[in-house]
Amino acid sequence: MLFKGTNRNKFMGFWIHVAVSCGLFSLLALGLNLILRSGVYSIASAAFYMIGAYSTGIGTVRLGLSPIVSILAGTLISAVFGFACIAPAFRVRQDRLLVLTLGFAEALRLVFVNWTSLTNGSMGISGIPPLSIFRIKIYSDSLFFIFLIWMCVIFMLLISSILFHSPWGLRLDGSRENEIVSYILGISPVTNRYLAHTAGAIVSSLAGSLYAHHIGFISPSPFSFVLSVYVLTAVVLGGIGSPQGAIFASIFIGFTQPVLQLIGISSFYATVIRQLIFGLVLIGIILWLPEGFYKKNSGYRRIGELSNGKY
């Protein structure tokens, strides 16, 4: 019963959708949190999300692969791209790297729009089958799907929290805080950045695959620059380097669209107003509250305070 969508009425379906999108958003935010922690200013989350979604879509619908194989293929592809799109990191300043990831995300989206023989262009791919693990089908409107997604989130949260105090986490902090000192200590910031960006890309791609199974239809339009900035907003709102904060902020962001729609604003205006609100929130946070709302985890900030407040 749990695996078959029992909750087919509209009201429950809506709230299941909200819960799932909050979970997916948290996954994206956790991936970006890892990337930002290493000092790569990447806003290409939407691109890797799209790679995951499309590899599931193309793999299951066009090629007839099983969902697990498609998900693994997606993570592999986005790992390669995650490395390739910040390949110049060893000689390029970080703000320029940000524009590079921005350009990568836009270029990739336009490839998916224009490569109609593979992706069916802006018409999108429909009829993606539900996720199945070892012949157990998990329908996207079942409670077990929410459980699965939030298990992924908790798993990633555990990994992030363990990383927080692990040697690799400290190396990431070091390569973000002060490149020259970390070079002197024998830590290569560039290697750590490549690793962190690849790992973040894999997490985003996983979230994308789950998204494709949840929605059942994918087109290039939701994977725009705006989505990447929302993910960045979630991380900045929660405080960079604090995974719990990122999750709380993602839940907050995930709830705005349904709330705006519930109070009777049409879909187009809800999207635009949400964009306006989060632009204002992002600027406000940066100007007046640069460490985010969730300040409990002070280990990270202590390092920041030592080096003159730079994170």
Partner 1 sequence: MLGLVYGLLGLSMLLVSSVLKLVDLVRGDLAIASAYLAYALTINGNLPIYLIFIPACAIAGVAGICLERFIYRPLGGRPRFTPLVAALGLSLIIQSILQLIFGPELTTYREAEKLRNNITHIGTFYVAEIDILIILVFLLVSITLYVILMYSKFGRAMRAISDDEESAIACGVPKGSTYGLAFFIASVVAGIAGICFGLVYGLEPGVGLLFTVKAFIILMLAGGHGVLGTVLAGMILGISESIMCGLLPANFRDTYIFAILLVILLVRPEGITGRAFQRYK
* Closer of 8 and 310 to partner 1 (Cβ): 310
- For partner 1, which residue of 2, 80, 99, 259 counts as binding (CB under 8 A)? 99
Q: Is 287 in the site for partner 1 (CB under 8 A)?
A: yes
Window 217-246: residues binding partner 1 (CB under 8 A): 224-226, 229, 232-233, 236
Q: What are the angstrom distances between the C-alpha of 173 and each of 43, 97, 183, 235? A: 19, 18, 13, 16
> Which residue lies nearer to partner 1 by CB, 65 or 273?
273
144 close to 5: Cβ distance less than 8 angstroms: no
DSSP 59: I
Residue choice 72, 265, 273, 303 for contact with partner 1 (CB under 8 A): 273
- CA separation for the pair 285, 291 (Å, rounded): 8
Question: How many residues does this entry show for the chain?
Answer: 311
Q: Determine, following the binding rule CB under 8 A, whether residue 123 of this chain makes contact with partner 1.
A: no
* Part of the chain binding partner 1 (CB under 8 A), chosen from 5-13, 148-156, 212-220, 285-293: 285-293
Phi, psi values for residue 309, rounded to 5°: 70, 15
Q: Where are any strands of DSSP class E within 99-151?
A: 125-126, 131-133, 136-138
> Binding of partner 1 at residue 306 (CB under 8 A)?
no
Written as one letter, the residue type at 282 is L
Which member of 276, 298, 299, 306 binds partner 1 (CB under 8 A)?
276
Closest contact distance (angstroms) between CB of 128 and partner 1 is 25
Total site size for partner 1, rule CB under 8 A: 47
Distance CA 243, CA 239 (A): 8
Task: Give whole-number Cα distances, 54 to 105, 133, 138, 275, 282, in Å.
Answer: 14, 19, 19, 25, 29
Give the 3-state secondary structure of residue 138: strand
Q: Any contact of residue 305 with partner 1 (CB under 8 A)?
A: no
Is residue 309 within the footprint of partner 1 (CB under 8 A)? yes
User: What is the signed CA dihedral for 156, 162, 165, 167, rounded to 10 degrees?
Assistant: -90
Nearer to partner 1, 25 or 150 (CB): 25
Residue of the chain from 272, 298, 305, 306 that contacts partner 1 (CB under 8 A): 272
Give the residues lining the site for partner 1 (CB under 8 A).
41, 43, 85, 87-88, 91-96, 98-100, 102-104, 106-107, 110-111, 114, 179, 224-226, 229, 232-233, 236, 269, 272-273, 275-276, 278-283, 286-287, 290, 309-311
